[in-house]
Amino acid sequence: MSPNIQRVGDQPLAPSIGLIVLFTGDVSSLLAQAKQLLFDLRYYAERDDRAVEMVLVIDGQAWRDALSADELNIPSAQTVVRETATQLPGVMANAAAELLSASWLAFLGIGSEISTWYSNLSAWRDILAATSAEAIAGYRSASEGRSAANESYLVHQNDQFSSDYPHAWLQMLDLVPMCNVFVRHALLRRIGGFTEAAVMQRMWWWEFCLRVTRTKPIVSVPMQPVPGPNWHHYPFTHALALPVARALPGLMRVTADPKRVTPSRKDEIDVPPRQQVHSVIAINALSPTWRSLPRAMQHRFHEALISRGRPLEIVVVGGVNEPAHNQLCFFNYFALMRDWGAVNWRVVLDERAAESDILGADLVIFSRVRNDAGVALMAACQRHHVATLYMLDDNWIWLGREWDEYAPIFSPGAAPYENFLKLVGEADVTLTYREPLADDLRPYARRVITLPTNVDLRAFVGTVGKKATRRHKIGYVGSLRKNMVAFDALIEIVRRRDDVDLFVMSNALPAEFEALPKARVHFEPYQFNYTAYAATVVAAALDVLVAPVGKTRFEASKCPNKYLEISAAGAVGVYSRAEPYTTYVQDGVTGLFADDAVASWVAAIERLLDDPDQRSKIADQARRHIATQFDTHAVLPAFVEMLLDTVGSRLA
């Protein structure tokens, strides 16, 4: 039983629900809707046999004068009138939350569809009574800006893979539907409530969701959409908000701090367009990561900032399936640079990217983009003389040749294939991470830079010591592979040995694993949130993870991310004796190799299981190797040099 479920006898206690309803904005244009909202609230509240605790927040005297006492007389509701209109929903919601004792909070505003909210309420009560989650959201309505990409993920979900609203998606889109969400009151208190910064007037809910999903999932459930106010176009009488393009970089900086949970402040978001550039001495005092750069690189970077009189402005363009790539390839580094006051960055969804998104940018990064919108945006960058970088970490040139199922997408003549090659050809720099891929890209690219891949060891904290008395855990983390030899070895070991359990994190559990005893198989769906992904793998306290690859050109071009992440999590890896692993792993020192036979994989896994001293020694050696060669701190100087080279022509 979940520790969050309270029971009386055999029945769960009904969850207590508090409803916050916000009345703000232009009275003349919103009054009719507000009166209808109150009428509907009263109608349904009178018929709800388990009354919802409710707070109606009236923003200023003009609203109070426009609404009669009878209209505000709703069962189980108290009315709070703010003497002076704030035009700030975050301020209003915080004040209302203080008055509520309910364990769960919901939020509505003028324009909310009350009939649907109440029709969902019975189902919500069942969900809230049984869940251990702290924030849960139903479906979005069509009026809330669904796109083809996010609709396919969030609206038609019916599988384990679609389990939450990813933090990385919220870096691009205001996705979470306020009127179809329930939040634990304790969570709201713990993270300091909503932002009250005036510049966040239209983004107060978005900011809250970004902050929550940095460390906690907002779980998505199949609940009928509830239309509500669109804060980005809401008729406020006083325009206090910053444009999204200026506010998002501030939010990215705030949420890049892994320890930060409290609301964003005005001074963190409303940074002057031409803010003062710190001196080298001041940045040295502020940031250990700056001090780690060679002195010549510090001065080169600082001269670039002085010449512009402001930080670098970077726009990352990518699709809905690129969150992990963006995190590893760019955001890991930007997080280390946040104290420099030298870089502002934000993310734009490729299918929605427009010319206005790149105006004023020093660099636009195309992260694995392959659609027509990306080609149009590249042309806009060239018209405005904006530096461009194309990042690719998979060998799409060979993918269609070696994997038949991808031939319709990655073959000459196919639009995605032709688009990606066109973008590579037009970009100032093409960035990749393996020489085989770099060699294949050079005939098409203006310039290719190859960086080491990186892993942020700060995300893999809390590695536990292995206890000799506990059960062993073996498994696999990642997308499924064609070659089942390593998986067959896992199955054989679990069937033969009673002291071993299986852990799998992937987009689906292979059918072969489903035949094993359910109590000994732990499956976790893949997580878009990289921080949560890392924490889940570390918490599993795994002994051995397998990393099989084939011997194709496509696979030889892959980054050694499995080696880095397995070692970061404190496990030991058994790897195919093939590229990329033969370049990075030292057999018997930082991992073990297996040949393409079940017996070879079984022998390597059991060698580690049966020799805890060797397992511990290899784990320690592997982690030291990646800490010195591949930790984000270690690769940061090479990344900064690449960044300066790419934008150099624009900084002169």
**Whether the Cβ atoms of residue 346 and residue 370 lie closer than 8 Å to each other:** no
Query: What average pLDDT score do residues 400-408 get?
Result: 95
Strand 181-184 to strand 343-349: parallel, antiparallel, or no bridges (unpaired)? unpaired
Residues in contact with 472: Cβ distance below 8 Å, sequence separation at least 6, in sequence order: 497, 499, 500, 501, 543, 544, 609
Query: Could you tell me which of 538, 329, 345, 555 has the C-alpha nearest to residue 449?
Result: 329
- pLDDT at residue 151 tops 50: no
* Per-residue burial over 514-526, b = 16 or more CB atoms within 10 Å of its CB, e = otherwise: eebeeeebebbbb
- pLDDT of residue 594 exceeding 80, the answer is yes
What is the average pLDDT value for the chain, to the nearest integer? 89
Answer yes or no: are the C-beta atoms of 596 and 483 closer than 8 Å: yes
- Count of C-beta atoms within a 10 Å radius of residue 388: 24
Section 95-113 average pLDDT: 96
- Cβ proximity of 230 and 161 under 8 Å: no
Q: What is the CA radius of gyration of the chain?
A: 27
Q: How far apart are CA 600 and CA 159, in angstroms?
A: 35
**Closest by CA position to 591, among listed 561, 567, 568, 612:** 567
CA–CA gap between residue 4 and residue 131 (Å, rounded): 7
Q: Residue 431: beta bridge partners?
A: 391, 449
Which residue from 367, 331, 88, 325 is spatially nearest to 201, judged by alpha carbons? 88
Q: What is the pLDDT of residues 352-375, one digit of tens each?
A: 899 999 999 999 999 999 999 999
| pLDDT of 8 strictly over 80 | no
pLDDT at 276 over 90: no
Q: Check if the beta carbon of residue 563 is closer than 8 Å to that of residue 455.
A: no
Asked, as a colleague might, if the bond just before 580 is cis with ω within 30 of 0, I would say yes
pLDDT higher than 50, residue 2: no
What was the pLDDT predicted at 142?
58
Q: Is the pLDDT of residue 287 over 80?
A: yes
Fold of 15-244: Spore Coat Polysaccharide Biosynthesis Protein SpsA; Chain A (3.90.550)
Say if residue 164 is exposed, middle or buried (CB neighbours under 10 Å; 0-12, 13-18, 19+): buried
Whole-angstrom CA distances from 236 to 87, 202, 239, 241, 341 are 7, 9, 6, 10, 32
Flag whether pLDDT at 628 surpasses 90: yes
Averaged pLDDT, 394-406: 95
pLDDT confidence of 272, banded at 50, 70, 90? Answer: low
- Which single residue is written with the structure tokens 């919220």? 170
Residue 345, pLDDT above cutoff 50: yes
Of 200, 221, 355, nearest to 266 by C-alpha is: 200
Out of 119-128, 284-293, 523-532, 549-558, pick the least confident.
523-532
Give the residue-averaged pLDDT of 412-421. Answer: 98
Q: What is the pLDDT of residue 202?
A: 95
Over residues 518-543, mean pLDDT: 88
Residue 163: pLDDT band (50, 70, 90) is low
Stretch among 431-440, 471-480, 605-614 having the lowest mean pLDDT: 471-480
pLDDT of residue 9 exceeding 50, the answer is no
In angstroms, the CA 591 to CA 618 distance is 6
Query: Distance of CA 33 to CAs 37, 65, 117, 477, 567, Å?
Result: 6, 16, 16, 51, 57
- Do 3 and 168 meet the contact criterion of CB atoms below 8 Å apart? no
pLDDT at 480: 75
* Cα(606)–Cα(586) distance, integer angstroms: 19
Average pLDDT on 312-328 reads: 89
Arch. (CATH architecture) of 272-454+635-651: 3-Layer(aba) Sandwich (3.40)
pLDDT at 464 over 60: no
Q: State residue 300's pLDDT score.
A: 93
Q: Is 329 helix (H, G, I), strand (E, B) or coil?
A: helix
> Which pLDDT does position 274 carry in this prediction?
54
**H/E element holding 250?**
helix 244-255
Per DSSP, what are the bridge partners of residue 54? 19, 77
Q: What is the pLDDT of residue 277?
A: 78
Residue 5 has pLDDT above 70, yes or no: no
Please check the confidence at residue 81 and state whether its pLDDT lies above 70: yes
559 pLDDT above the threshold of 80? yes
pLDDT in tens, 634-648: 999 999 999 999 998
Cα of 447 vs its chain's centroid, Å = 30
Closest C-alpha to 74, from 147, 122, 21, 133: 21
- Return the higher-pLDDT residue of 315 and 172: 315
Of residues 148 and 491, the one with the higher pLDDT is 491
- Each domain of the chain, given as residue ranges in start order, spans 15-244, 272-454+635-651, 457-630
Token duo for residue 27? 């009275």
pLDDT of residue 273: 55
**Of 212, 103, 226, 108, which Cα lies nearest the Cα of 166?**
212
At 256, the pLDDT band (50, 70, 90 cuts) reads confident
Higher pLDDT, 48 or 580: 580
Task: Give the pLDDT confidence score for residue 322 in this predicted structure.
Answer: 84
Residues ≥6 apart with Cβ < 8 Å to 87: 24, 25, 59, 201, 236, 237, 238, 240
Tell me which of 514 and 611 has the higher pLDDT: 611
Q: Is the pLDDT of residue 7 over 60?
A: no
Topology agreement, domain 272-454+635-651 and domain 457-630: yes
Q: Kindly state the average pLDDT of the residues 291-316.
A: 92
Confidence category of residue 650, pLDDT binned at 50, 70, 90: low
CA distance 19 to 54: 5
| pLDDT > 90? residue 161 | no
The per-residue pLDDT for 10 is 38
Reference 368, options 308, 299, 317, 312; nearest CA is: 317
Instruction: With cut-offs at 50, 70 and 90, classify the pLDDT of residue 649.
Output: low
Alpha helices, H only, 47-184: 61-66, 89-99, 114-130, 148-154, 167-170
For 50-70, what is the mean pLDDT?
A: 95
Fold classification of 457-630 is Rossmann fold (3.40.50)
So what's the pLDDT on residue 510? 80
Average pLDDT of the segment spanning 591-606: 97
User: Rounded to an integer, what distance in angstroms lies between the CA atom of residue 232 and that of residue 442?
Assistant: 44
The pTM for the full model equals 0.88
According to DSSP, the residues that pair with 82 across neighbouring strands are: 59
Report whether pLDDT(158) > 60.
Answer: no
Report the distance separating Cα 94 and Cα 346, nearest Å. Answer: 28
What is the structure's pLDDT at 531?
A: 82
Residue 238 is predicted with a pLDDT of 92
Percentage of the residues of the chain whose pLDDT score is greater than 70: 91
Mean predicted confidence (pLDDT) in 53-65? 96
**According to the model, what pLDDT value does residue 143 have?**
52
Asked whether residue 22 carries a pLDDT value surpassing 90, the answer given is yes
pLDDT score recorded for residue 382: 96
**Exposed, middle or buried, 607 (CB in 10 Å: 0-12/13-18/19+)?**
middle
What DSSP state is assigned to residue 331? I
